């Protein structure tokens, strides 16, 4: 996405509904929103209607913002998500916990998840617990020395077939996927707030969950493998 643009674009997909929303970047004020309800008696997402829905609404959206939509954030509500929890451990010999140590464990966990669950794409990666010398922490203590530490990590994954089918439809309009957000995760993260699903998703994209690992776009220069690694070492 062109980072100089002054709007965010979202496509919300669930089995019984498609919705597009274009919002101002400054305050998420709605520029355009439209939806279609789908007569679907099953839990699966049927993308047969998505092409027609986009054909009409992408044209109207681009006319309003006077620009082409090149990338869009996809919010998905689906039973096709898979949640995976695993732990990774490292001996540390009473040294300080360094950024490289965490990167090593995170990469190890990520590869384990990918190898074990073929056909799934990692959408969210969240550190749920730090176990440092047998003591639990919800965030990483500063300047920690320890004999060993481990991370409890939750992965929220989505079936790659569904992702590819959505990409295929979007390619007809020269649109790429910017970020994919699990609607369930977004709603659970902000249970006590009255944010819209788009506000919740944007907060996730911007890193509101300090224990979520955000992956960077491969084209981004001068950044590490993980976008936000994190405010832990900032």
Which CATH number describes the domain made up of 7-79+159-202?
3.30.420.40
Taking residue 231's Cβ as centre, other Cβ atoms within 10 Å add up to 11
Q: What is the pLDDT along the chain (234 residues), one digit of tens a residue?
A: 444 478 999 999 999 999 999 999 988 899 999 999 998 777 888 898 899 999 999 999 999 999 999 999 999 999 989 999 999 999 988 888 888 888 889 999 999 999 999 999 999 999 999 999 999 998 888 888 899 999 999 999 999 999 999 999 999 999 999 999 999 999 999 988 889 999 999 999 999 998 999 876 544 333 344 444 444 443
Structure confidence at residue 169 (pLDDT): 96
Instruction: Give the pTM.
Output: 0.87
Q: What residue ranges do the domains of the chain occupy?
A: 7-79+159-202, 81-158
Phi-psi sector, 133: left (phi>0), alpha (psi -120 to 50), beta = left
Q: How buried is residue 86: exposed, middle or buried, by Cβ count under 10 Å (0-12/13-18/19+)? A: middle
Q: Yes or no: is domain 81-158 CATH 3.40.50.10680?
A: no
DSSP 49: G
């Amino acid at each position: 996405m062109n980072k100089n643009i002054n709007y965010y674009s979202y496509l919300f997909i669930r089995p019984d509904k498609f919705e597009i929303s274009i919002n101002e970047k400054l305050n998420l004020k709605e520029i355009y929103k439209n939806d279609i309800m789908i007569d679907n008696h099953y839990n699966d997402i049927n993308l047969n209607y998505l092409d027609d829905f986009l054909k009409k609404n992408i044209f109207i959206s681009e006319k309003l913002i006077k620009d082409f939509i090149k990338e869009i954030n996809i919010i998905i509500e689906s039973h096709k998500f898979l949640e995976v929890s695993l732990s990774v451990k490292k001996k540390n010999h009473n040294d300080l916990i360094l950024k490289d140590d965490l990167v090593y464990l995170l990469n190890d966990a990520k590869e384990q998840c990918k190898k074990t669950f073929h056909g799934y794409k990692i959408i969210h990666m969240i550190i749920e617990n730090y176990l440092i010398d047998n003591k639990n922490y919800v965030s990483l203590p500063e300047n920690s020395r320890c004999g060993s530490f481990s991370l409890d990590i939750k992965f929220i994954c989505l079936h790659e077939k569904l992702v590819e089918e959505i990409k295929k439809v979007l390619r007809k309009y020269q649109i790429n996927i910017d970020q994919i957000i699990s609607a369930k995760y977004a709603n659970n993260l902000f249970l006590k707030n009255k944010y819209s699903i788009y506000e919740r998703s944007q907060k996730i994209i911007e890193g509101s969950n300090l224990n979520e690992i955000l992956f960077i776009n491969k084209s981004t220069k001068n950044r590490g493998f993980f976008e936000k690694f994190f405010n832990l070492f900032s």
